[in-house]
């Protein structure tokens, strides 16, 4: 009986805190993304990748994190990872024209590389 | 719409969109494209010579060798071997004859580097004077059909291995180059300036029937491992240029114009390239 009461109480606490925790996670993810953008603009792409990977881990439904990661992977020549990240970003936000245009530009280069490879 | 035009339109649209948003940032990126070939086992490259044909106004063998050597000297880390250009057509013909009569392959190369070892065999043709390749033989090759029977030389592993040994096992670049005159007639759209009834200048597209002349360049680059004589990689291109009848463009100028289009792709086979562009980061 005592155990059941404790469990119910714990569930109540968790359900009350869950939205707040989720909000906190989103804010943390956003901070990572913003810092990533700042360092990427300074050319520090490795640090940016680390930040955006953290953001994607904390909030796996954050399109900007995946879009930015894709750009960074592209810059590093990691085309498979870039493609997956772009696809995830578009899956989360299919109507986002900025992500789509990034992806189209990426595909053009990637296709060109593959064409040359198949000669 | 070509891919390039599509990319330009996309970039413009992107720029306009970016300017309207606050939480997006345009950043320049350089996408690295890895070379098609792993050239790490080689420190040196020998542009040996080409089976060349087509227009008699350009010695496509000699010019191609010169151009590729100079490009590689400035844009590749490989050391370019300065050797006489191989008269490849002569050698290919000789190998065909040998194969028919005695079935022996691997004729020693006729050319040798300046001050380097002399040709290994007395039966092989002597190198042509530097600066002039086998023009007499080249005149016989007019199209791809003429080239076909000679292309067996590229599969002659013993021959290339021997050349490789002579030059301390470099990466060997060879292949074929067809540079042919070409004419095409048809309707061409061009812009013409007209003055209307009110005296205003306007540019209108005009379709005119024209007979245009130009050239087609069809090189095939073959990369051979000088240690084994085997082909590692090959790639072919086809580029053409047409001029209006009023233009008189020398064949050699056209040759360089067409080669200019191919050289970046040739270089990217051997060395990493970076494609510059921009992408949008979001918050």
pLDDT, tens digit, for every residue of B86-120? 999 999 998 888 776 443 334 344 443 333 333 33
Q: Kindly provide the ipTM of the predicted complex, given to two decimals.
A: 0.83
Q: What is the pLDDT of residue B137?
A: 45
pLDDT digit string (tens) for A27-48?
A: 999 999 999 999 999 999 999 9
Chain A interface test: which of B269, B270, B279 (most A C-beta within 10 Å): B279
Quick check: A98 and B236 CB within 8 A? no
Long-range contacts of B8-17 (CB under 8 A, 24+ apart): B10/A101, B10/A104, B10/A105, B11/A105, B11/B278, B13/A97, B13/A101, B14/A98, B14/A101, B14/B278, B14/B280, B17/A97, B17/A98, B17/A101
Fold (CATH) for A28-117 = 1.25.40
For chains A and B, what is the number of CB pairs under 8 angstroms?
80
Residues of B in contact with A52 (CB under 8 A): none
Average per-residue pLDDT for chain B: 81
CB pair distance less than 8 Å for B281 and A68: yes
Helix (H) or strand (E) holding B101: helix B88-101
A64's tokens: 């900007």
Whether A76 and B32 lie within 8 Å, measured CB to CB? yes
- Smallest CA–CA distance from A66 into chain B, residue: B282
**More confidently predicted of B252 and B130:** B252
Output the pLDDT for position B185: 83
- Would the CB atoms of B277 and A98 count as touching at under 8 Å? no
The listed CATH number (3.40.50, 3.30.70, 3.30.2000, 2.60.40) that belongs to domain B36-180+210-273: 3.40.50
pLDDT of residue B98: 78
- Please give the model's pTM, rounded to 2 decimal places: 0.62
Best mutation target among B20, B28, B31, B35 (most A Cβ atoms within 10 Å) is: B31
Strands B201-225, B231-236: parallel, antiparallel or unpaired by DSSP? antiparallel
Does position A50 have pLDDT exceeding 90, yes or no?
A: yes
């Amino acid at each position: 009986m005592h155990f059941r009461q404790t469990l119910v109480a714990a569930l109540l606490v968790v359900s009350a805190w869950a939205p707040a925790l989720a909000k906190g996670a989103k804010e943390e993810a956003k901070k990572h993304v913003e810092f990533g953008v700042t360092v990427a603009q300074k050319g520090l792409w490795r640090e940016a990748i680390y930040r955006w990977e953290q953001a994607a881990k904390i909030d796996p439904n954050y399109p900007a994190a995946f879009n930015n990661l894709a750009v960074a992977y592209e810059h590093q020549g990691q085309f498979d990872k870039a493609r997956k990240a772009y696809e995830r970003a578009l899956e989360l936000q299919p109507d986002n024209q900025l992500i789509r245009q990034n992806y189209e530009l990426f595909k053009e280069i990637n296709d060109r590389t593959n064409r040359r490879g198949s000669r | 719409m070509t891919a390039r035009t599509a990319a330009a339109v996309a970039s413009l649209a992107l720029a306009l969109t970016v300017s309207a948003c606050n939480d997006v940032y345009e950043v320049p990126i350089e996408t690295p494209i890895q070379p098609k070939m792993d050239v790490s086992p080689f420190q040196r490259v020998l542009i040996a010579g080409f089976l060349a044909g087509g227009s008699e106004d350009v010695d496509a063998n000699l010019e191609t060798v010169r151009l590729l050597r100079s490009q590689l000297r400035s844009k590749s880390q490989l050391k370019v071997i300065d050797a006489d250009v191989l008269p490849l057509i002569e050698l290919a013909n000789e190998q065909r004859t040998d194969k028919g009569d005695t079935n022996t392959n691997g004729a020693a190369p006729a050319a040798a580097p300046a001050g380097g070892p002399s040709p290994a065999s007395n039966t092989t043709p002597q190198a042509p004077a530097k600066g002039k390749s086998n023009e007499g033989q080249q005149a016989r090759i007019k199209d791809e059909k003429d080239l076909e029977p000679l292309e067996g030389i590229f599969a002659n592993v013993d021959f290339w291995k021997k050349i490789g040994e002579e030059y301390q096992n470099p990466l060997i670049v060879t292949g074929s180059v067809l540079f042919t005159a070409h004419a095409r007639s048809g309707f061409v759209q061009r812009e013409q300036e007209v003055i209307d009834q009110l005296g205003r200048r306007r540019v209108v597209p005009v379709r005119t029937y024209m007979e245009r002349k130009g050239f087609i360049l069809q090189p095939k680059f073959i990369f051979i491992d000088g240690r084994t004589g085997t082909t590692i990689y090959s790639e072919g291109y086809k580029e053409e240029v047409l001029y209006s009848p009023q233009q008189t463009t020398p064949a050699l100028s056209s040759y360089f114009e067409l080669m200019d289009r191919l050289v970046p792709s040739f270089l990217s086979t051997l060395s990493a390239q970076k494609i510059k562009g921009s992408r949008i980061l979001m918050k």
